[in-house]
C-alpha cells in the first residue's frame, strides 16, 4: 500500500466515523441540540478533521441523507437492463422498499418533520441530496424503456412518483404514524408487485 492509498483509507475511515457519530447524535439529541464539536467527540476525531469534510451542520446532515439513499453522486449505480419493465421496476421497487425499511429511516423522518419549520434545510437536504438523485435514476430507467418501445409515458416524472407513491403509502407511512404496525416481507413483495403491474397496465406498450 502506498502512502497516498494509506492516507486515503484513513480519511475515509474518519469520514465514515463522522457520519455514524452524526447519525447517532441527530437521532438522540435532535438537529438543534447537536453540535459539530459533539459529533467530533463521539467520532473520536478532531473538529478540524470534521470541518474538512463537513464545514456546516447542514452539509453534514445532507451527507447523511445521501448515505441513507445511497445517492452519492460519485457512485455510478447501474440501471436494470432495458427491455423487461416488470423485472426492472420490480428490482427498483424492492430496492426502494428496502431503503424505506432501514432502521434509521423513520427516526430521521421524525427529526426532519419535528424541526423542519425552524430548520428548513433539513427538508431541503432530504429532497435535494437524497430523493432527487434517486428520482432521476428512476426517470432514466423509465426513459430507457420508452426508447426500447416497452413503455409509452408522456410525463416520466409523474409516472415515477406514482410508482414510488404506491409503495411508500402502504409500507412506510402507516409505520411512521404507528411504529407498532408490522409489515411482513411477503406483504412488501405483494405491494411492490401490484405497483409494478399497475404501472405496466397504464403505460405498457403492446408489441
Report helix angle 185-203 to 156-171, nearest 10: 160
Instruction: State how far the alpha carbon of 88 is from the alpha carbons of 82, 140, 156, in Å.
Output: 7, 12, 15
CB 50 within 8 A of CB 18: yes
Residue written as cell 432502521?
Answer: 103
CATH code of the domain made up of 85-203: 1.10.357.10
Residues 6+ apart with CB under 8 A from 56: 36
pLDDT value for 12: 87
Architecture of the domain spanning 3-55: Orthogonal Bundle (1.10)
pLDDT value for 76: 59
* Predicted structure pTM score: 0.82
CB 170 within 8 A of CB 195: no
pLDDT value for 139: 95
CA-nearest of 64, 45, 182 to 129 is 64
Q: Is 1 helix (H, G, I), strand (E, B) or coil?
A: coil
pLDDT value for 73: 54
Residues of the chain with pLDDT under 70: 71-77, 206-207
pLDDT value for 72: 55
pLDDT value for 201: 96
Domain boundaries, the chain: 3-55, 85-203
Residue 204 sits at φ, ψ, to 5 deg, of -65, 145
pLDDT value for 151: 97
DSSP-derived secondary structure letter, 172: T
Residue written as cell 402507516?
Answer: 174
pLDDT value for 80: 93
Beta carbons within 10 angstroms of residue 167's beta carbon: 21
Amino acid at each position: 500500500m502506498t502512502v497516498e492509498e494509506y492516507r486515503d483509507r484513513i480519511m475515509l475511515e474518519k469520514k465514515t466515523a463522522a457520519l455514524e457519530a452524526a447519525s447517532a447524535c441527530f437521532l438522540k439529541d435532535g438537529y438543534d441540540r447537536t453540535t459539530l464539536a459533539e459529533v467530533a467527540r463521539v467520532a473520536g476525531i478532531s473538529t478540524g478533521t470534521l470541518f474538512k469534510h463537513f464545514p456546516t451542520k447542514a452539509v453534514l446532515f445532507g451527507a447523511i441523507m445521501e448515505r441513507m439513499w445511497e445517492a452519492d453522486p460519485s457512485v455510478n449505480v447501474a440501471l436494470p437492463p432495458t427491455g423487461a419493465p416488470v423485472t426492472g421496476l420490480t428490482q427498483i421497487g424492492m430496492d426502494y422498499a428496502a431503503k424505506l425499511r432501514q432502521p434509521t429511516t423513520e427516526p430521521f423522518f421524525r427529526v426532519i418533520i419535528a424541526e423542519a419549520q425552524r430548520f428548513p434545510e433539513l427538508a431541503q437536504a432530504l429532497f435535494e441530496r437524497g430523493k432527487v438523485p434517486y428520482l432521476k435514476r428512476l426517470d432514466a430507467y423509465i426513459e430507457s424503456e420508452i426508447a426500447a418501445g416497452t413503455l409509452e409515458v408522456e410525463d416520466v416524472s409523474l409516472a415515477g412518483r406514482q410508482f414510488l407513491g404506491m409503495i411508500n403509502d402502504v409500507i412506510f407511512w402507516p409505520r411512521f404514524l404507528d411504529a407498532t404496525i408490522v409489515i411482513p416481507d411477503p406483504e412488501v413483495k405483494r405491494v411492490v408487485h401490484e405497483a409494478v403491474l399497475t404501472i405496466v397496465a397504464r403505460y405498457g406498450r403492446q408489441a
